Amino acid sequence: ENNPLAAAAEKVAAALRRDTGPADGIPGKPAAQSPPLEEPVEPHDPLPAKPDQSGPDTVTPTGAATGVDRASVAQHGPYLTTAQGARLYDSDHSLKAGARGPVLLQDHHLREKITHFDHERIPERVVHARGAAAHGVFHAYGTASEVTKAAFLGKEATTPVFVRFSTVLGSRGSSDTVRDTRGFATKFYTSEGTFDLVGNNIPVFFIQDAIKFPDIIHAAKPHPDREIPQAQSAHDTFWDFVTLHTEATHHTLWNMSDRGIPRSYRTMEGFGIHTFRLVNAEGATTLVKFHWKPKLGVHSLVWEEAQIINGMDPDFHRRDLADAIEAGAFPQWELGIQTFPDTPEQTFEGIDLLDPTNIVPEELAPVQPVGLLTLNANPSNYFAETEQVAFHPGHLVPGIDITDDPLLSGRLFSYLDTQISRLGGPNFAQIPVNRTHAPVNDMLRDGMHQTAVHAGAAPYRPNSLDGGCPFKAGADTSAYIEVPVEVPEARKVRDAPASFADHFTQPRLFWLSMTPVEREHIIAAYTFELGKCYEQAIKERALRVLANIDPELCEQVAKGLGLPAPEATVPLLALDPSPALSQLGRTWPLDGRVIGIVTDGDGDLGGVRSVRQAVLDAGMVPLVIAPSGGELDADGSPITVQRTFATARSIEYDAILLAGVPGPGSDAYGARDAKAGNGTPASGTATDPRVLLMLAEAFRHGKALGGWAGAETVLETAGISTGAPGVVTGTGGTDVLAGITELLGSHRVWERFPAGV
Ligand code: HDE
């Protein structure tokens, strides 16, 4: 009985039963009598593992399992353990000399837990740090078979994919809707090895030679002294560089256009940018540019909306992608190729195909669809998948080869190199999301984070000990064989071809292809960004660049900056516009569009119910907005309030409906519910100012607005004429919705612009 070890064991057993007495507590203070509510205290077998609790897999999550005993790895089994598998009886208290005494250095569990935590972060990507990703599948139409032998582009081929979208400049925690280029990187897990198409949502790049990449990125990232601004191009160093280095003009113009602020990842185009070389089964080659075309059309935010979102919902794009997939509204893109004959000049209609600041207008070389991408599953674990995925333009498969675009050549070096520092060594291909679905039989060995246990004694070639295995493949056994392109005899130089010196023709083509609304947005963007620069000399230089694109653009921006507009220093060519570059003028499916329905307890709740249903039936998302949360009683069958006046803001909706405002003289959303500053109900008939703000913003942003049964009064209070374009009022909700739906097909009510936003 006096055995001290037995006493200690009993104390531990008591701790496990959670009935410890006050022995070591503050004198006089009783110990807690019962365990925390709802925390299970009896060990039991785990519930079936949710996909996001599964342990490390031996293939990518889209592939088949390869026989690892899942029960033997993380978070399986009834007991919490250390990393070495020893069971723990307490993970909430450090080992101390007495409950109020010092923590002991010998607490190896504390040290293991904290040390692992200390090392949970890895370096973020130097560019494209903020991203969101999804799993999906690619179905090939087979239409590319004539030009490439790549198996995944063959008829009916189906290939798992992982796609990561990103912004370029911001850190991992920055906002989604900043003005920036977006990454669009796709990993195809093909049967012949992994193919990565590491593209952007803008078809041209800032620089023509990879050696300039550190310069553009140093200029565009926050200033090194104060580390501001975050995720912005509206600052001196960016504009200093892009105006001195005029090959950046084309990309910068795209950034200043609506393409710089996409509505959603789901409504972005993607581009491989560089010209690639395809090779078919007969060895014939074709030059191509890759395009992703979103099924929902190409749509953007307006600038004021984008800025409000950065504060209201910095995860706007990430949320939108994940929500759509979770709801089963799987985003889709068609992969297309523009094809060009593989001539020694590598030009098409006078356009240099090796210059990544050039596009080839679709009117000259149509985009031919070759397959359909569907994103149908969200990642289970952000870090394991979205953060650790490692793309590389050098991940190529037989049938797809590179060209001598000097930007691409540098990328082929950079991506492998960056993964080694980012993912801590050369074995990142073993991380589940990076594992190929093709059989691997390499002779790469050892290194940091080696997880394979390679057997055998002969990881070298030639060998006799392994019977000469593995053998080299040939053209008939799917080997990746570089196209034996002729390299003209040349002198070793640091230089660029003369054709790379034209920096203004293509920007002018883009400008001339824009509609008036799009041009107005471009002018506003330049005026905003240059207006944020401090250095007068940079603004003046920027105007000289704009003068070489178009006098109207230059004059308008100069006016906004209060500076004189300079003359062009290059001939301004008369060019045929490329209508395919404009985002306007077509109508698109409405899947996933969000309709805000504002109502309150006295509104036409029957009407709200039928409009909600009609919105759902049209594949769109209804969100009921009311003064406060909970449910609205519609004749005994309640309607759930999804947003309150406190949580709703115009930016979340593509259209807003005022659903049944109580009759004339009523309080029209608010007087009864909004509280005056002192907590007592406000008097009078004022509409809640948050509703008025929502309507005014939505109107300025070109969104469809509508309502019935008294909506006119509220709209007018918000300063919106019911006769204005895109405002639909009527007596019944479903009629009004029909009018709104028609407007939504063209994304916004473009007649409302210019609106100065
Ligand atoms: Fe990248 N780029 N890049 N880039 N890039 C990276 O690789 C680089 C370029 C693009 O979601 C880095 O893993 C150089 C063009 C995307 O994980 C790095 C040059 C295009 C992503 C890198 C370029 C891109 C990256 C940073 C000039 C469009 C994100 C982390 C020669 C065609 C991929 C990483 C993801 C990421 C280097 C230019 C697209 C450092 C040197 C042109 C979509 O390797």
CA distances from 118 to 113, 121, 451, 634 (A): 9, 8, 22, 53
pLDDT for residue 685 is more than 80? no
**Mutate which of 196, 198, 205 for ligand 1 pocket (most atoms within 8 A of beta carbon):** 198
pLDDT for residue 61 is more than 50? no
Q: How far is the CA of 417 from the centre of ligand 1 (A)?
A: 12
- Which numbered atom of ligand 1 lies nearest the CA of 415? 44
pLDDT band at 29 (very low <50, low <70, confident <90, very high): low
128 Cβ closer than 6 Å to some ligand 1 atom: yes
Query: Residue 8's pLDDT is what?
Result: 66
Please indicate whether residue 20 or residue 616 has the higher confidence score (pLDDT).
616
741 Cβ closer than 6 Å to some ligand 1 atom: no
**CA Rg value for the chain:** 31
Q: Which CATH number fits domain 131-210+261-434: 2.60.200.30, 2.140.10.10, 3.30.70.890, 2.40.180.10?
A: 2.40.180.10
The pLDDT tens digits for 567-576 are: 999 999 999 9
The pLDDT tens digits for 500-552 are: 999 999 999 999 999 999 999 999 999 999 999 999 999 999 999 999 999 99
The pLDDT tens digits for 126-147 are: 999 999 999 999 999 999 999 9
Q: To the nearest whole percent, how much of the chain has pLDDT over 70?
A: 86
pLDDT for residue 12 is more than 70? no
Domain boundaries in the chain? Answer: 1-34, 131-210+261-434, 504-581, 594-752
pLDDT for residue 586 is more than 90? yes
181 Cβ closer than 6 Å to some ligand 1 atom: no
Closest C-alpha among 751, 621, 662 to residue 699: 751
pLDDT band at 78 (very low <50, low <70, confident <90, very high): confident
Kindly report the average pLDDT of the chain as a whole number: 89
pLDDT for residue 665 is more than 70? no
- Which numbered atom of ligand 1 lies nearest the CA of 414? 44
The answer to whether 91 touches 109, Cβ cutoff 8 Å, is: yes
**Domains 131-210+261-434 and 504-581 fall in the same CATH topology:** no
Residue nearest to atom 7 of ligand 1 (CA): 415
- Which numbered atom of ligand 1 lies nearest the CA of 184? 43
Q: How far is the CA of 388 from the centre of ligand 1 (A)?
A: 14
410 Cβ closer than 6 Å to some ligand 1 atom: yes
Q: How far is the CA of 109 from the centre of ligand 1 (A)?
A: 40
CA dist 460 and 470 (Å) reads: 9
Report the range out of 27-41, 424-438, 635-649, 656-670 with the highest average pLDDT.
Answer: 424-438
CA distances from 754 to 237, 302, 741 (A): 30, 12, 23
For residue 133, what are its two tokens? 């990703």
The pLDDT tens digits for 375-429 are: 999 999 999 999 999 999 999 999 999 999 999 999 999 999 999 999 999 999 9
The pLDDT tens digits for 299-313 are: 999 999 999 999 999
CA dist 555 and 632 (Å) reads: 54
Residue 302 CB: number of other CB atoms within 10 A?
A: 21
187 Cβ closer than 6 Å to some ligand 1 atom: no
Q: How far is the CA of 200 from the centre of ligand 1 (A)?
A: 9
pLDDT for residue 187 is more than 90? yes
206 Cβ closer than 6 Å to some ligand 1 atom: no
Q: How far is the CA of 212 from the centre of ligand 1 (A)?
A: 13
Mean pLDDT of 54-71: 42
pLDDT for residue 675 is more than 70? no
CA dist 321 and 333 (Å) reads: 14
Q: Which residues are catalytic?
A: 128, 200
pTM of the model: 0.89
Furthest CA-CA distance within the chain: 102
Query: Residue 666's pLDDT is what?
Result: 54
CATH of region 594-752: 3.40.50.880
Burial class (CB in 10 A: 0-12, 13-18, 19+), 606: middle
205 Cβ closer than 6 Å to some ligand 1 atom: yes
Query: Residue 40's pLDDT is what?
Result: 57
Beta strand pairing call for 285-294 and 270-271 = antiparallel
The answer to whether 83 touches 112, Cβ cutoff 8 Å, is: yes
Q: How far is the CA of 191 from the centre of ligand 1 (A)?
A: 25
Does domain 504-581 fall under CATH 1.20.1370.20? My reply is yes
- Which numbered atom of ligand 1 lies nearest the CA of 131? 11
Q: How far is the CA of 120 from the centre of ligand 1 (A)?
A: 24
pLDDT for residue 1 is more than 50? no
pLDDT for residue 23 is more than 90? no
325 Cβ closer than 6 Å to some ligand 1 atom: no
**383 DSSP assignment:** I
The pLDDT tens digits for 328-341 are: 889 999 999 999 99
Query: Residue 683's pLDDT is what?
Result: 41
407 Cβ closer than 6 Å to some ligand 1 atom: yes
